[in-house]
Structure 1
């Protein structure tokens, strides 16, 4: 075999390797795309941009839960979940109890950073992975206790940014839930 065929073979191999690497890079980029969320989700409270930091990569988004969080003595709870490719990414819940019945929050796991107080409602706690708020709703005709919680998958977020996100999400959720449940009306 002469030098020319060897050089051609080496060039072909190098070209094939370059094309294969480029195609593999495209496939990885496509896989890493963020999934498309609905414009509004979880009781109509959150926009697509609100929840995008918690989504990570994937193809299929599944949202389950009722359209609203209008709780009554008969409908005492509502839960919304957002999954990406079958993996839970967001959980939002609201629970109503008769007035005077407080919510029990078990101690936190010592392996994760301690929660900090969240100045929302009557009692609030904030973790790296979510937030919880309890409040008493006193109305002219109906008074009750309301607990709101939200949690999310933070593995795709920059460390140290999740608590600010959950504070913002809970602030928005609290205002909407008070309107939907007629808390204080």
Structure 2
């Protein structure tokens, strides 16, 4: 009878350990901390935190400022967590008047148009727009793009969040690129 109790106790201990191990293996790591200045210094960690998900290591690939001009026409910021891209912001300075096409990849998301930008598309995981700039050294267009993994943002809040982020990104881009609004 003693051997039977030992066997039951061992089995209970093994099952309990397996259950606990399973619980700890499924537990998500906390959302990683972002540096105080992210993506050209435009966005705060609090604004981007909902897109970071869970993980341990955050990497930000970004120039310190937007700095697009005639000689440098493109800048991109990419934030990844544990090697997976979570947020991208990009700006392109291009020749004025080029045709604006969004392509099927954007259109399949049934995008809206932003109320403050005629040439724009807003969907549940991103936003893009093109604005014309009239400058002393010649007209040009700015093409701005934000894309993120919005898992931690409620579906009904996704488009308003992206619209607000783009409004801030547009203001900073116009100022930096000497593009009056």
TM over 0.5: yes
TM-score (norm 1): 0.83
Unaligned runs of 5+ in 2: none
Shift of 1:125: 1.4
Residues 79-124 of structure 1: CA deviation (Å, up to 9, x unaligned): 11112222222111111124x3335223334883311111233422
Find the counterpart in structure 1 of residue 36 from structure 2.
39
TM-score (norm 2): 0.84
TM-aligned CA deviation for residue 74 of structure 1: 0.9
Which of 68, 85, 89 is the equivalent residue of 2:86? 89
- Partners of 2:99 and 2:4 lie apart in 1 by 77
Of 109, 114, 135, which residue of structure 1 is paired with 2:110?
A: 114
Alignment RMSD: 2.5
The answer for the alignment partner of 2:166 in structure 1 is 170
Instruction: Name the one with the larger helix percent.
Output: 2
Q: How many residues align?
A: 181
Q: Output aligned runs, 1:1-185, within 5 Å.
A: 2=1, 4-29=2-27, 31-98=28-95, 100-109=96-105, 112-140=108-136, 143-184=139-180
Q: Deviations over 1:44-101 (max 9, x none)?
A: 1112221222222222222212111121111111111112222222111111124x33
Residues 121 and 106 of structure 1: is their aligned pair in 2 closer, same or farther, counting only changes over 3 Å? closer
Please list every run of 5 or more consecutive structure 1 residues that lacks an aligned counterpart in the other structure. Answer: none
Q: Report SS of the residue matched to 1:96.
A: strand
